[in-house]
Structure 1
Amino acid sequence: MVVHSFSSHSYPPSAAVPLEARRRLFADEDLGMGNFLDRVAAVHPAGDRPFLWTVARGGSPEQARPLSVEQLVRTRDTYAGWYHAAGVTKGDPVAVYLDDGVGYFLHFLALSSLGAVPALVNGRMPAPVAADYVARIGAVGVVATTGHLAALRDAGLDAGGLLWCADAAEIPAEPASGTALPGVFPYPHADPDPVMLCHTSGTTGPPKAAMFGHRQFFLGKRERLLTFPQAEEGNRLLTALPQSHSAGISYLMTATLLGLPTMVMTDNDGASVRAAMDRFEPTVVAAFPQTYVELAALDLSGPGSAQVHTWINTGDSAHEAHIRALVRYGRRPDGNGGHRPGSRFIDGLGSSEMGMALFRKVSEPESGDYGRCVGTPIDIVEEVAVLDDAGRPLGPGEPGRLGVRTPTVTPGYWNDSRRTIQSSYSGYWLTGDVVYRTEDGRIYHLDRSPDVIHTADGPVYSLPIEEVVLTDPVVDDCAVIAVPDPVAGDQAPFAVVRLRAGTPAPGSLLDTLNAALAEAGLVPLRGVTVAAGPDEFPTGPTGKVLKRRMREMYVSALAGSGVS
């Protein structure tokens, strides 16, 4: 592996894609997810200069691997030649199951260049779940790390239904003698052609394979060519997103189109990200909420956060307590050529199916607009509705199901047309979120539909309760779930909390939390337990709390088991 002794000031400024070239790309109506690499390579005057630095699993950011546009093209072509020789052709789904990191991006580029459909499987997905997912999508082949390949076989993956299984480490990095590419290469994508499958989080059931199209997935992102922080302005992006997720691929595409100096993390825990920040000194950090939960609990003072002006969150919206902890750091432009202390946090509510974060809220140290407000829809959204269970529109302040009309929505679920049809209503894609809307159009996120707590007195929403619980100084993270109420015969709210490191569990925690909830006008918790470790606070492959599993774990909580 090529390594590069890296410092935050050693990147070549000429790696940036010049403004005139970006304008040409912006005007290219055929530009999309299936061809962006070749389009930027054609206009980039310094495609040989590195702009990506990738940190391996357990690796040191000081020894990051550099990649340029030209190296991306060479690696893409080498991998594509191997896949072509293995019989992969247009429309074939191929599962990629790695240890996160830039490898997902490289295999995505190679497979999509053949017109095949890369199915990116998060490396943290348990092997039995992954094996079932690979079978359901009808993959023709699997590329995986040595460990993941063995785990898939142990989990009962039917290799007889596949053309091949390959160890990712054995795919050559350099083209072998006689390796050929298809007669038409790269594949010329039409607008509706699928370019990728990414699975949902699996928090509410088996993960689903959301499709992404050449044009559909690029919609709403073209503007980044002219508006995203530019390399020539001294900006540096650190991405700790799961690189198997559509958001991870999207931001690496953006970095490629801009030539934006970017450090790509494989490990996205808080300690690893802080170490990389100290070396890279980013101005922009992109991650999922769980990374921010862990970063918020750390001391980030020092060079790593000094230059940060923007934190970008996508997927689930972040908690106020974690946002407030992070925006204390860094510096922001003051509009007069200088800076003022503190950074901004861009929170984007989205999902795999939405194609991108469709709601945007910006928080700064002075902000007070919280309470699970996820902001307003971005320009690409055509219409937003809050619907009751029968599909009738609801007015301001009335909780209901969130529906969106936008061209960025997934074309559907691979091999599951019935679920695709059931996921929309009268042209609205139903996101699975429960929200309400204010008179001025702001959206407040109350819950995920499966997580609503159905009490004897009516529905109770978990997310506003979690916001209050997290204001307690001893609480690091929490999840409020529904558990059976042995008295009323319905459900009751119950909290599972993680305490800050080194903090003993207070004996009066339930009383303290309920006093805060009463002050906020929310219903009290019936119980609370302190998670002793990760097994008692389970999270999914992308870091989302698995409330479905928690409900199973704490089903007897109010019957006297596990309440503190």
Structure 2
Amino acid sequence: MTTNLRAALAADPDLGAGNVLPKLAEHGADPERPTLTFDVDVDGIPAWTALSLGTLTERVAARAEWFHRHGVRRRDPIALYATSAPDVLLNAYALMWLGAIPALMNGNMPIPIAAEYVRRLRAAGLVLDADHAALREYALGTPILGDAAETGTGDPALAPPHVRHHPDDPIAVTHSSGTTRTPAAAVHSHFSLFAAVRALRLAQPRSRGQVRELSVMPAAHAAGLVTVNQSLCNGYELLFLSAQGGPFEHSGATILDAIERWRPTGVFGFAVTWSELARHDLTARDLSSVRNWNSTGDCAHETHIRRLVAVGSHPVVTRGGVADLPGSRFIDMLGSTEMGHSAFEMIHTHESDRYGRCVGKVHPFAEVVLLDRETGEEVADGQVGHVGLKSPSLAPGYWNDSVGTYRDRLRGYYLTGDLMYRDAQGYYYHVDRANDAIDLGDGEHLYTALSEERILTHCPDVRDCTVLAAREDDGRVVTDVLLQLVEGADPAADREPLVRAALGEAAAVTVRRVVNVPDDGVVTGPTGKVRKFLMRQDLLAEVARGRVDPSTV
């Protein structure tokens, strides 16, 4: 039945990101099958209770009726600013039910930034929760419809019919991490946000046996919606955690506890997730159920990947049947909000030896070129270029921002902001974000992300690190290296020689200091990504004031 249902869904040209629930019903999906589980209560349903497809649809319909009763209509952009995953996801699907456009806001976004973000949205309404009540004190130019806790009180029997979506209908707005500016509001269409699910998850064979997936990504991210849709269409069970604190708030323990309790076969997260897990002795936890670690967003670090693939299990067909053997897979899928879905995929196991920030090869549905930003010409294999992408999953643009939409287009390609090179076998390697890289002259560059990768490889007692490089007004380059140590590491040990060796001669001469920092010594955005732009400004200000004497560090 699952195979037949997936085939029917794959063949349905009207299926898209905005109508998965009614399409499942139309094609005969079992209303009693378990779908989403949350770690918080949902409308009186206890936490950790799986919602059947029927119950999930009913809870979404209740919210659709509530929004409709509060005047929300088709194409109305409605901002959602909440902490818990069900408050984000169930309200988002309710707004899609009406043909409205949920504008999802990460609950970790600071209140003042959230106020500016809402003003730029010019939304038709705002729903928030008690955690973000302070936003009510700001002049937003947007009416507050109510509290997220109220929306589930609607009457599902009175919900209007689910609208019919067309491929280019906008069905959601999600925002970037905001590492260099106020988060950018990317628009996703009914077609674009489902394109990769159709091309990859419905076209490929379904994983054998029971599939239980755990998402530790923010529910308000585009990746959160994609994960829910692919789980629903494939008949997988999905646990979506609401515990989405900053990098040093949960320290990976919440994730590990959830794995041991719920026994997922797959875990979805961002690169910061694996850094969090690296704090812990993974061999001391029961992670045997995990077959796949699925990463998106930034490229993951080799040191973190190797620790993860050493635990978990993978199925092997033997004469006696299928057996689970030790060791899991790490599926690295570099992507971004604007990309709508990853364009690359790299699979690692305990036998892998292709690292060095290799992000693998391009998905069949996407087209990637590496361009010279000035000339627009493609660079040769082995040379670093700007990533240009054409993909059906691409966000059509930025909400209320035509300048931003067209600034990053070149020769018909979307410039992702990433710098990569390609080898002769067609593998791509990520070296940095374009905004973070520094041209040192004479053909030398300082790539901060690649430098971090090399430092982690050279310094086994460093759990994570941040390299900040900035150019002063006189043209000189200054670099700070911030180290976060593993538990028990000697803070007095001199790691500077290893760091300089990892950076290479040209970059090493720019180093001002190598310093150990606590977790809160690194500035991060709502998704846990390091905000290097802000930290570079602080670095330059320190240098200008002459506050830091390297001899005292």
TM-score (norm 2): 0.91
SS at match of 2:314: strand
TM-superposed CA distance for 1:203, in Å, is 0.5
Task: Answer yes or no: is 1:136 the counterpart of 2:113.
Answer: no
Cα distance, 1:528–1:327 mapped onto 2, change above 3 Å: farther
Partner of 1:225: 202
**Distance across 2 between alignment mates of 1:199 and 1:229:** 31
Q: 1:28 aligns with which of 5, 12, 27?
A: 12
* Stretches of structure 1 lacking an aligned partner (at least 5 in a row): 1-16
Q: 2:164 aligns with which of 183, 188, 193?
A: 188
Cα distance, 1:52–1:25 mapped onto 2, change above 3 Å: same
TM-superposed CA distance for 1:229, in Å, is 5.0
CA displacement, residues 232-258 of structure 1 (integer Å, 9 cap, x when unaligned)? 602211111111101011111111122
> How do 1:397-408 and structure 2 match up within 5 A?
397-408=382-393
Task: Answer yes or no: is 1:278 the counterpart of 2:260.
Answer: yes
- The one-letter amino acid of 2:436's match is D
Cα distance, 1:328–1:445 mapped onto 2, change above 3 Å: same
- The one-letter amino acid of 1:423's match is D
Partner of 1:445: 430
SS at match of 1:464: helix
Query: Is the 2:268–2:293 Cα contact (8 Å) retained in structure 1?
Result: yes
CA displacement, residues 490-530 of structure 1 (integer Å, 9 cap, x when unaligned)? 223321121112333234221221134449x9745613444
Partner of 2:358: 373
Query: Is the 2:455–2:498 Cα contact (8 Å) retained in structure 1?
Result: no
Task: Answer yes or no: is 1:109 the counterpart of 2:89.
Answer: no
**Distance across 2 between alignment mates of 1:518 and 1:467:** 13
Task: Answer yes or no: is 1:506 the counterpart of 2:496.
Answer: no
**Distance across 2 between alignment mates of 1:469 and 1:256:** 41
- The one-letter amino acid of 1:459's match is H
* Stretches of structure 2 lacking an aligned partner (at least 5 in a row): 245-249
Query: Is the 2:292–2:331 Cα contact (8 Å) retained in structure 1?
Result: yes
> How do 1:207-286 and structure 2 match up within 5 A?
207-222=183-198, 223-225=200-202, 227=204, 229-230=206-207, 233-268=209-244, 269=250, 270-286=252-268
Cα distance, 1:233–1:562 mapped onto 2, change above 3 Å: farther
Partner of 2:134: 151
SS at match of 1:433: strand
**Distance across 2 between alignment mates of 1:180 and 1:310:** 41
TM-superposed CA distance for 1:302, in Å, is 5.6
Task: Answer yes or no: is 1:329 the counterpart of 2:305.
Answer: no
TM-superposed CA distance for 1:41, in Å, is 2.2
Query: Is the 1:348–1:359 Cα contact (8 Å) retained in structure 2?
Result: yes
Q: 1:122 aligns with which of 82, 94, 106?
A: 106
Query: Is the 1:281–1:303 Cα contact (8 Å) retained in structure 2?
Result: no
Task: Answer yes or no: is 1:491 the counterpart of 2:468.
Answer: no
**Distance across 2 between alignment mates of 1:280 and 1:213:** 33
> How do 1:378-457 and structure 2 match up within 5 A?
378-455=363-440
Q: 2:339 aligns with which of 354, 361, 379?
A: 354
Q: 2:148 aligns with which of 148, 168, 172?
A: 168
Aligned residues: 533
TM-superposed CA distance for 1:560, in Å, is 5.5
Cα distance, 1:561–1:56 mapped onto 2, change above 3 Å: farther
Q: 1:459 aligns with which of 439, 442, 445?
A: 445
Task: Answer yes or no: is 1:477 the counterpart of 2:460.
Answer: no
Partner of 2:247: none
SS at match of 1:64: coil
TM-superposed CA distance for 1:45, in Å, is 4.7
**Distance across 2 between alignment mates of 1:201 and 1:550:** 15
Cα distance, 1:93–1:421 mapped onto 2, change above 3 Å: same
Partner of 2:300: 318
**Distance across 1 between alignment mates of 2:149 and 2:274:** 31
Cα distance, 1:528–1:333 mapped onto 2, change above 3 Å: farther
Partner of 1:3: none
TM-superposed CA distance for 1:48, in Å, is 2.2
Partner of 1:13: none
TM-score (norm 1): 0.89
Partner of 2:51: 67
**Distance across 2 between alignment mates of 1:556 and 1:345:** 40
- The one-letter amino acid of 1:129's match is I
Give the % identical residues.
Answer: 36
Query: Is the 1:386–1:436 Cα contact (8 Å) retained in structure 2?
Result: no
Q: 1:76 aligns with which of 27, 40, 60?
A: 60
**Distance across 1 between alignment mates of 2:549 and 2:236:** 49
Query: Is the 1:192–1:214 Cα contact (8 Å) retained in structure 2?
Result: yes
Query: Is the 2:482–2:517 Cα contact (8 Å) retained in structure 1?
Result: no
**Distance across 1 between alignment mates of 2:339 and 2:5:** 29
Query: Is the 1:280–1:304 Cα contact (8 Å) retained in structure 2?
Result: no
The 10-residue stretch of structure 1 (401-410 or 124-133) with the greater mean CA deviation from structure 2: 401-410
CA displacement, residues 517-551 of structure 1 (integer Å, 9 cap, x when unaligned)? 449x9745613444543432111111111111211
SS at match of 2:196: coil
TM-superposed CA distance for 1:44, in Å, is 4.1
CA displacement, residues 77-123 of structure 1 (integer Å, 9 cap, x when unaligned)? 11111111111111111000111423211111100111110000000
Query: Is the 1:456–1:491 Cα contact (8 Å) retained in structure 2?
Result: no
- The one-letter amino acid of 1:451's match is D
**Distance across 2 between alignment mates of 1:541 and 1:243:** 12
Partner of 1:9: none
TM-superposed CA distance for 1:456, in Å, is 5.4
- The one-letter amino acid of 2:454's match is V
TM-superposed CA distance for 1:303, in Å, is 6.3
- The one-letter amino acid of 2:177's match is S
**Distance across 2 between alignment mates of 1:256 and 1:450:** 37
**Distance across 1 between alignment mates of 2:191 and 2:151:** 30
SS at match of 1:376: strand
- The one-letter amino acid of 1:510's match is E
TM-superposed CA distance for 1:217, in Å, is 1.3
SS at match of 1:29: coil
**Distance across 2 between alignment mates of 1:390 and 1:256:** 44
Query: Is the 2:167–2:189 Cα contact (8 Å) retained in structure 1?
Result: yes
Cα distance, 1:368–1:112 mapped onto 2, change above 3 Å: same
